[in-house]
Chains A and B, each alone.
Chain A
Amino acid sequence: MLKLAPLGTLALMLGPVIAGLAGTVLPAFGYMPTLGGDSLSLAPFRDLLSRPGLATSLALSLGTGLAASLGAFIIVILFTAAFEGGRLFRVMRALLSPLLAVPHAAAAFGLAFLIAPSGWAMRLLSPWATGATRPPDLLIIGDPYGLSMTLGLMAKEVPFLLLMVLAALPQTDSLRARNVATGLGYARVAGWLSAVLPRLYPQIRLPVFAVIAYATSVVDVAIILGPTTPAPLAVRLVGWMRDPDLAMRFTASAGALLQLSVSALAIGLWVAGERLVARIGRARLRAGRRQAGERPFAAGAALAMGGLTAALLAGLLAIALWSFAGRWRFPGALPDTLTLTSWQAHLGHLGAASTVTLVIAVPVTLTALVLALACLEGETRKGIALRHRTLPLLYVPLIVPQIAFLFGFQILLLTLGIADTLLAVGLAHLVFVLPYVFLALSDPWRAIDPRYGHVASALGASPNRIFWRIRLPLALRAAATAAALGLAVSVAQYLPTLLIGGGRHATITTEAVALSAGGNRRLIALYAMTQMILPFLAFSLAALAPAVAFRRRQALRASA
């Protein structure tokens, strides 16, 4: 059983990606017999290129994606360089970790509620500062350059990248390395950038690629904050894929390949940038430059970090306010009354959508957890870590844009006869939940002192007994956190639920995104709140489980 776990995990994780890509390539070149395409041709690409505004869509995807990734990366790196080990760093770390669990769509709604012309920021400033008694006639949400969308993506990628940096820092001996540099006369930022970053970067490179791929192909955030005339490529693709005219599927497939190239191009540009920066960095290192824009960099990073976090938190607060708001006329800073009316009126719908969400998320998360535990336990029993061979594979589903393979995966599901079922949606979610559960569990698991297992087997305990009685309890906290993360990832999935479910399974997230066009703030707020409550509950339970199980055990109770 254990021997099959790695193979099964890889098959469930990579199978849909590979099959999906194959299922996209064939129709892109006109081959899809069920739709009458039985010869290879370039017609789908010709049709794709003739779509109006395609160049703008492409530029938007590439531009917003790269700008958001680069912005988030620079902010996180400079902030860490300037403040690692300090109090501000600890505060931001404590603030940002829970924000990671907030679904992208909810964060985007929050930002929209905050910065829209009639948003909370304008209300707080009006009329005393702006003089406005009516919302100004500005196009902020959905601006043609995708600035709001870039900001929204950046605000959500900053916590992710910071957490990745935090996970990698202990392996770089960062504080001592910087102290050595400081001893040689290097200023704080310069010392960190030359002594720590070169060791840190290789470890966060794959997560950075995942961010770039995500940001260049995002759908839900783009629907909520992005421009519409035309929309970024990925949003238009979803439209074509769901077009009643089935012939559009050929164009959509060609478009999916184009999307794949756009994301690949973005990563390629980033890699070229890496080379350039490494060259400049080496030259600076040899020149022994002991300053790197110290104060302005620190101030800028702190300001950007603080600003984005404040915007994210204020946005979430605005969502909460709207969900309880009675009458709230512009430019009132707060609603006139707070009421439960909206919640009461929509409780049935929210409950139904939450149920569908959990019916998908819970089995998917448990499956991912069991598979991850089986892989890790098998690895421990064999006494070898597969880390270096498997790590890049874990990132494959996170780096290949969802939209490039989900459509093709759907074709495979059709031939299996399970298209549009909950099982199919679950399989699609598993592709994205597995890597996160595995990544969250593997480091704590491998950190368990192997001598506990050795002592136990010397005491005569069989491998199975050691797993159940020793290793699993020792990993309980990590397993619970990994499960909560898995649940949060599943809850937040928009595209897989929509495309693989054929629009038949209304989850909290698909409902919330669908509401965005309507602009009913109270209704959106209810769904966005529920979107946040589910992962929040999961993480609370995850924190509670070890606290209860180990309430009499000092060594395990302290939160690590």
Chain B
Amino acid sequence: MRDAKPTPAPETPPPAGLVFDGVRIARQGVPLIALDARVAPGEVLTLMGPSGIGKSTLLAYAAGFLDPAFSAQGRVLVGGRDVTDLPAHRRHVGLLFQDPLLFPHLSVGDNLAFALPEAIRGRSARRDAVHQALSEVELGGYDARDPATLSGGQKARIALMRVLVSEPRALLLDEPFSKLDTGLKAQMRDLVFGKARRRGLPVLLVTHDRDDAAAAGGPIIDLSPGA
């Protein structure tokens, strides 16, 4: 991750945040979804709409693994940098799905260590970074635990920290709260949006839950037919 260091500021500052510039996605030539939007740092843009409308396809496009069955045009900018033609692993775009998707063969700590940028060098520095991330979500001491033994809420928190320690420049959330029960849902919303805001991350949230959109407190684009 050589490019993890901040680049010297150019003459005119590029548009910060996450920018969708004339993005059009089509499946076998049939237009599916279009988006022109700019998400400012620390802001959450919510995309609402029923399933099958192409919300997740849009996220896949922004993250860099659009299924070859689709074709797309337009540009995606992250922190002023055009990432449209970059491979997924060089985009610095973090992802959260409705499942925590912790790697089942790695310990909780190794899940985090896997995500730490290579720029953090040395065994003790990396271990400290993992421990700090764990205590940030009140899971200090969970380093060696098997992810399969965690509760749903704990898994969700580890998944969140795993994304954050990878130092993304934008977050893409694909219905991240839909599988949590009601109490946990409110808690995770606060946690995710709070941390994103504090780190100044632009967030694109895809959901069909009005409460998610309300909790996000940002602009909402409703993609429902007739909306």
Asked whether A and B interact, the reply is yes
Across the interface, do B63 and A458 meet the contact criterion of CB distance under 8 Å? yes
Across the interface, do A473 and B88 meet the contact criterion of CB distance under 8 Å? no
How far is it, in angstroms, between the C-alpha of A553 and the C-alpha of B104 when the chains are bound? 7
Looking at A174-182, A409-417, A449-457, the stretch in contact with chain B turns out to be A449-457
Across the interface, do B68 and A383 meet the contact criterion of CB distance under 8 Å? yes
Tell me which of B89, B104, B149, B172 contacts A462 (CB under 8 A): B89
Decide if A356 is an interface residue (CB 8 Å cutoff): no
- Contacts A455-B95, A460-B89; is A383 near B67 (CB within 8 Å)? yes
Q: Could you say which residues of chain A place their CB within 8 Å of the CB of B64? A: 457
- Report the interface size class on chain A: 20 to 34
Across the interface, do B63 and A474 meet the contact criterion of CB distance under 8 Å? no
Chain A positions 436-473 with a Cβ under 8 Å from a chain B Cβ: 449, 451-452, 454-463, 466, 469-470, 473
How far is it, in angstroms, between the C-alpha of A556 and the C-alpha of B163 when the chains are bound? 23
Chain A positions 239-283 with a Cβ under 8 Å from a chain B Cβ: none
- Contacts A458-B168, A460-B115, A460-B166; is A554 near B146 (CB within 8 Å)? yes
Looking at the assembled complex, report how far the CB atom of A193 sits from the nearest CB atom of chain B, in whole angstroms.
Answer: 36
Looking at the assembled complex, report how far the CB atom of B70 sits from the nearest CB atom of chain A, in whole angstroms.
Answer: 10
Q: Which label, helix, strand, loop or mixed, suits the secondary structure of the A interface?
A: helix
Decide if A382 is an interface residue (CB 8 Å cutoff): yes
How far is it, in angstroms, between the C-alpha of A449 and the C-alpha of B104 when the chains are bound? 12
Across the interface, do B68 and A459 meet the contact criterion of CB distance under 8 Å? no
Across the interface, do B65 and A383 meet the contact criterion of CB distance under 8 Å? yes
Q: Which label, helix, strand, loop or mixed, suits the secondary structure of the B interface?
A: loop
Q: Name the CB-closest residue of B to A449.
A: B101
Decide if B94 is an interface residue (CB 8 Å cutoff): yes
Tell me which of B60, B114, B146, B148 contacts A459 (CB under 8 A): B114
- Contacts A384-B68, A451-B97, A556-B105; is A459 near B115 (CB within 8 Å)? yes
How far is it, in angstroms, between the C-alpha of A554 and the C-alpha of B155 when the chains are bound? 15
Tell me which of B89, B103, B149 contacts A457 (CB under 8 A): B89
Looking at the assembled complex, report how far the CB atom of A60 sits from the nearest CB atom of chain B, in whole angstroms.
Answer: 51
Q: Could you say which residues of chain A place their CB within 8 Å of the CB of B200? A: none
How far is it, in angstroms, between the C-alpha of A456 and the C-alpha of B166 when the chains are bound? 10
Across the interface, do B101 and A459 meet the contact criterion of CB distance under 8 Å? no
Q: Could you say which residues of chain A place their CB within 8 Å of the CB of B117? A: 460
Most chain B beta carbons < 10 A, residue from A451, A463, A470: A451
Number of residues from B at the complex interface, CB < 8 A: 35
Chain A positions 23-71 with a Cβ under 8 Å from a chain B Cβ: none
Across the interface, do A457 and B68 meet the contact criterion of CB distance under 8 Å? no
How far is it, in angstroms, between the C-alpha of A335 and the C-alpha of B1 when the chains are bound? 71
Across the interface, do B101 and A556 meet the contact criterion of CB distance under 8 Å? no
Q: Could you say which residues of chain B place their CB within 8 Å of the CB of A384? A: 68
Against A, the Cβ 8 Å flags (1 = close, 0 = not) of B199-221 are 00000000000000000000000
How far is it, in angstroms, between the C-alpha of A28 and the C-alpha of B101 when the chains are bound? 60
Q: Name the CB-closest residue of A to B172.
A: A458
Chain B positions 73-110 with a Cβ under 8 Å from a chain A Cβ: 87-95, 97, 99, 101, 103-105, 107
Tell me which of A451, A461, A553 contacts B99 (CB under 8 A): A451
Chain A positions 538-560 with a Cβ under 8 Å from a chain B Cβ: 549-550, 552-556
- Contacts A383-B68, A553-B146; is A459 near B166 (CB within 8 Å)? yes
Chain A positions 485-518 with a Cβ under 8 Å from a chain B Cβ: none
Q: Could you say which residues of chain B place their CB within 8 Å of the CB of A457? A: 63-65, 87-89
Looking at the assembled complex, report how far the CB atom of A38 sits from the nearest CB atom of chain B, in whole angstroms.
Answer: 53
Tell me which of A382, A458, A466, A474 contacts B95 (CB under 8 A): A458
Chain B positions 121-167 with a Cβ under 8 Å from a chain A Cβ: 146-149, 162-163, 166
Q: Could you say which residues of chain A place their CB within 8 Å of the CB of B67? A: 383
Write 18 A-B pairs (CB below 8 A) sorted by A numbering: A383-B67, A383-B68, A384-B68, A454-B60, A456-B103, A458-B95, A460-B89, A460-B90, A460-B92, A461-B89, A463-B89, A469-B114, A470-B103, A473-B105, A553-B104, A554-B148, A554-B149, A556-B104
Other than the given A452-B101, A454-B65, 8 more pairs (CB < 8 A) read A383-B67, A455-B101, A456-B114, A458-B91, A458-B163, A460-B1, A474-B105, A556-B105
Q: What is A's interface to B at a CB cutoff of 8 Å?
A: 382-384, 449, 451-452, 454-463, 466, 469-470, 473-474, 476, 549-550, 552-556
